[in-house]
Structure 1
Amino acid sequence: MASQSRLFQLSGTCNNYPWGKKGRDSLAARLCEKTPGTDFVINDDEYYSEMWFGDYPDFPGRDLETGQTLAEILKEHKEKLLGAYSIENFGNNLPFLPKILSIGKALPLQIHPNKSLAAKLHEKDPEKFSDSNHKPEIAVALSQFELFAGWRDLGQISAIFNIPSLRRFIPEGSHSWNEETLRSVVRGILKADEQTVQNIEEDLKRQSQEDIEKLGYPSSMFELIRRLQSQYSATDPGLLIAILCMNYLVLEPGEAIFIPADGVHCYLSGDIVECMARSNNMLSGGLCPVADRDNIDLFSETLKIDSSTRVDNLRLPANPSKDGASGHTLVYQPPISEFDMIRIEMTAGTEELIWNHKGPTVAIAVSGEGTIRGDGKELAVKTGFIFFIAAETETMLRADTGMRIYAAVIR
């Protein structure tokens, strides 16, 4: 029996949620198609939303040579591939889950529950909540990326709620807003009947653009309302939470956002590389069919409303990293222990020695061509190629053209 290599190529798995992009417009699908030796073919009439390439069972990464799932390989060779640090701290699986997302229309207004709540939900309904872990995540823009994330300043929110149709949601006796005021307002709006929601949206459209901008809201507010109404309905209360209470952001390629557990977010459009703690749990509050919405009291009570959800604390910078010997490597460091994300930017003819890490690495080339050497062998790197690199394995990258790689790693 051949020994298990510490460096090997993976194939990913695409899925087809209706919020994805159609056919070849989907970067997730185009990257998935690039992996040789698979039977994946893009259907121009199909929506492609995500490509997963971790060890989670839903849409597993696989060894390109053998077809074996990454989870099966890690189970057989956990000490060699995961390393002692990762096993001791996170168990016998990858502690992170990397993905490429191609977003054609808004995802649900959502949060990913904290560990304590995730454990309770998993025990109560394991079919819907398939694990007991939390799911903090980062998203790095690969194209222009629109999203709602975190909460606006309470002063801004309270001012717009002076519009007559919105005053009813302010708790009686409130003289100034605090976190619990906002929580009560969110709960009230998400429970509002369809006619009330529609009336508020029409009331908002009657406000002048000048007045809206004076309150600190973007001039695009009216276009965003129309767009979300066309994608879902004019009676979805999640639209009001996003528009009125959340930060509207547009990230350029390379810019990143961190969403903590219980942090509210709604991705609108664009292509991203995303990585999260190893979980697939979600609570939805809106911007989805009524049948898909979770209990509003549970959703509202779980919402994180504190300084970590302010816009300045959500943005995640890319800092120079000593992971690479020649200075081609940047690192995104979310305030969690499960992973960091590194970005390697190389020009043609350059090399980058990546120091061995104490835990495993999963990397994807999003553009360019070159080679990767490690564990006594050399593999071709091309756009869309995905690699697993074991703990404590040094690798050398060489770029034949300009090359960009993203990698989730335990450093």
Structure 2
Amino acid sequence: MPSAEPVVQLRCYCKNDGWGKKGHDSMAARLCAKTPGTDFKIEDDKHYSEMWMGTYPTTPSYVISTGETLQEYLKKYPELLGKKVRDKFEGELPYLPKILSMSKALPLQVHPDRKMAQQLHARDPKKFGDTNHKPEIAVALGPFELFAGWKPLTDLTRLFANKPLQRFLPPGEDKFHDGTLKQVARNILEAPENVVEQTIADVIKLPDDAFESKYRYIPSLLQRVCEQYSPTDNGTLLAVLCMNFFQLNAGDSVYVPADGIHAYLSGDIVECMARSDNVLNTGFCPRAERDSVEVFCEALSFWPHEPDEAFLGKHPADKAKHGKTLEYAPPISEFNMLATHLKAGEKESIQPIDGPTVMVVTGGAGKMHAANKTLDISEGYVYFVGHGVGLDFEACPQELHVFMAYAE
């Protein structure tokens, strides 16, 4: 058997969910279409939502030089994962990077933890295709709006003192704790459509002084999300009233734990998650596509409870020689992410990583020196880099932006 090439270029594909951006407005589609040799073509009347870069079987990446899926290539050459990663994750690439482009809210969702994922997979393996958990990070590539985690309990206590919202409180309770919040979430999600529609209308009519200054956005955001889906969508009430609403800029990032409630609203992002596609949806989607409220509420955790707790910090990467690379390090073992940003003429060196890397060029052009080869790289190029390979980047003739997910 010939020896493995440790650095291989990947061909990826883009999904067509209705919440994606249309045609060339979608960064996911634009990047996907720029891979050399791809047969992917952008149609301006189609929505493009997610470009996947990894081994998950529903939307696999392909090794351009061999025509194999990346999964097949790594099964043939498992040494590319490195012994530690191969042993710990049973021979699998443990993460799944994506580019997401959103024109409206994704379904309101949680990803079940490992225990629940195993139960759901045993019950319905077609819908829940694996037994893994799915913590994830999202790094903004520009303006990015989302819902993630819960408003502070004291804020919810004051907010739900407004008469139109008192109908969702458990009998005899007016101060929020996690048990109250869980019951309020269930009551909102189980409310009849006419109650949802009337409540939204009533909240929109409340005077400004019904809301703390930081929540004055609630009426207008209710109207905006209603226009995207329906004034009877239960998820609109739960997200806008109970969840933290964020407006982030390029480079900002959030961490969503496996059982954390979230819904991305607009923008372009690099996302990375543990290798799973399990999800429970209960809003911002047709009623027929919603999962059981009981199961959804069972899966919920009640972290984060403060807006700052949802943010994922970044720091200069120890693995980078010239200080042009940032690292995002979520509190999980499946992956970290590096982001290298170079101006024209600048260089960066990334030391060999004790595990596999998947990298995507999100902007600009330059050269990459790796495994005794010099490769021209530009926007839309995606590579798998095997264990123990160092990378040298040079931005020319313009700037260069590269994101790298890796495991060690």
When normalised by structure 2's length, the TM-score is 0.97
How many angstroms apart in 1 are the aligned matches of 2:121 and 2:9? Answer: 33
**Residue aligning to 2:404:** 407
The answer on whether the counterparts of 1:189 and 1:237 sit within 8 Å (CA) in structure 2 is: yes
Coordinate RMSD, CA, aligned: 1.2
1:220 to 214, 217, 221: 217
Following superposition, the deviation at residue 176 of structure 1 comes to: 2.6
Following superposition, the deviation at residue 240 of structure 1 comes to: 0.4
Worse overlay, 190-199 or 171-180 = 171-180
One-letter identity of the residue aligned with 1:261:
A
How many angstroms apart in 1 are the aligned matches of 2:111 and 2:270? Answer: 18
Q: Residues 159-198 of structure 1 correspond to what in structure 2 (within 5 A)?
A: 159-198=158-197
One-letter identity of the residue aligned with 1:117:
M
2:382 to 386, 391, 397: 386
One-letter identity of the residue aligned with 2:139:
V
How many angstroms apart in 2 are the aligned matches of 1:40 and 1:266? Answer: 28
2:291 to 291, 294, 298: 294
**Residue aligning to 1:11:** 11
**Residue aligning to 2:37:** 37
Cα deviation per residue 1:287-318 (whole Å; 9 max; x = unaligned)?
A: 11001111101111211113x45321210111
How many angstroms apart in 2 are the aligned matches of 1:125 and 1:112? Answer: 15
**Residue aligning to 1:234:** 231
How many angstroms apart in 2 are the aligned matches of 1:322 and 1:147? Answer: 30
How many angstroms apart in 1 are the aligned matches of 2:306 and 2:153? Answer: 10
**Residue aligning to 2:76:** 76
How many angstroms apart in 2 are the aligned matches of 1:204 and 1:407? Answer: 44
1:341 to 337, 343, 364: 337
The answer on whether the counterparts of 1:263 and 1:309 sit within 8 Å (CA) in structure 2 is: no
Cα deviation per residue 1:190-234 (whole Å; 9 max; x = unaligned)?
A: 0000111111001101111243244x41x3322211121111111
The answer on whether the counterparts of 2:162 and 2:210 sit within 8 Å (CA) in structure 1 is: no
The answer on whether the counterparts of 2:152 and 2:305 sit within 8 Å (CA) in structure 1 is: no
**Residue aligning to 1:310:** 306
Q: Residues 76-155 of structure 1 correspond to what in structure 2 (within 5 A)?
A: 76-79=76-79, 81-155=80-154
Q: Residues 318-333 of structure 1 correspond to what in structure 2 (within 5 A)?
A: 318-333=314-329
**Residue aligning to 1:202:** 201
Cα deviation per residue 1:26-80 (whole Å; 9 max; x = unaligned)?
A: 000000011111111100111000000111111111112222100000110012x
**Residue aligning to 2:391:** 395
Equivalenced residue count is 407
2:276 to 263, 274, 279: 279
Worse overlay, 168-177 or 123-132 = 168-177
| SS of residue paired to 2:251 | coil
| SS of residue paired to 1:388 | strand
How many angstroms apart in 1 are the aligned matches of 2:388 and 2:307? Answer: 36
How many angstroms apart in 1 are the aligned matches of 2:174 and 2:40? Answer: 59
Following superposition, the deviation at residue 406 of structure 1 comes to: 0.5
- In structure 2, stretches of 5+ residues that fail to align are none
The answer on whether the counterparts of 2:112 and 2:279 sit within 8 Å (CA) in structure 1 is: yes
How many angstroms apart in 2 are the aligned matches of 1:110 and 1:175? Answer: 26
One-letter identity of the residue aligned with 1:142:
L
| SS of residue paired to 1:402 | strand
One-letter identity of the residue aligned with 1:109:
L
Q: Does residue 248 of the first structure (1) align with residue 254 of the second (2)?
A: no
How many angstroms apart in 2 are the aligned matches of 1:173 and 1:325? Answer: 60
How many angstroms apart in 2 are the aligned matches of 1:315 and 1:37? Answer: 38
- In structure 1, stretches of 5+ residues that fail to align are none
* 4+ runs deviating over 4 angstroms: none
How many angstroms apart in 2 are the aligned matches of 1:183 and 1:29? Answer: 38
One-letter identity of the residue aligned with 1:319:
H
1:350 to 346, 355, 365: 346
The answer on whether the counterparts of 1:8 and 1:63 sit within 8 Å (CA) in structure 2 is: yes
The answer on whether the counterparts of 2:353 and 2:389 sit within 8 Å (CA) in structure 1 is: yes
How many angstroms apart in 2 are the aligned matches of 1:310 and 1:138? Answer: 17
One-letter identity of the residue aligned with 1:367:
G
Following superposition, the deviation at residue 3 of structure 1 comes to: 2.4
Following superposition, the deviation at residue 358 of structure 1 comes to: 1.1
Worse overlay, 121-130 or 371-380 = 371-380
When normalised by structure 1's length, the TM-score is 0.97
Q: Does residue 66 of the first structure (1) align with residue 66 of the second (2)?
A: yes
